[in-house]
Amino acid sequence: MVRLAAETGFSVAAYRRIGVLQLAGVAGVALGLAGAGLLLLLAGAVVVHVRRGDPVAELAPAVVCAVPVASYLAALFA
């Protein structure tokens, strides 16, 4: 690990912190937390577009992206 950290220009402590963050990311995806957060973000985008009275063309990307995320979460927790 010391050699790999040196090759990338990071200290060993920083290299370890990056590894911990990567493991946390994997856990978040595996538990559906990342997907749930993304779905909440997209739902918020839909609400903002609707409140602003934006045309469907501006609302559609958030809805289109929310569908596969919701499907993923449904499959994950089914």
CA distance readout (Å), 23 to 17, 19, 27, 30, 38: 10, 6, 6, 10, 19
pLDDT one-digit tens code per residue, 24-64: 888 888 888 888 889 999 999 999 889 989 999 988 999 99
d(CA 28, CA 17): 16
pLDDT one-digit tens code per residue, 6-26: 877 889 998 899 889 888 888
HSE (CB half, 13 Å, CA atoms) of 42? 17
d(CA 78, CA 63): 22
Q: Percentage of the chain with pLDDT > 90?
A: 41
Task: Kindly report whether the global pTM for this prediction surpasses the value 0.95.
Answer: no
d(CA 54, CA 51): 8
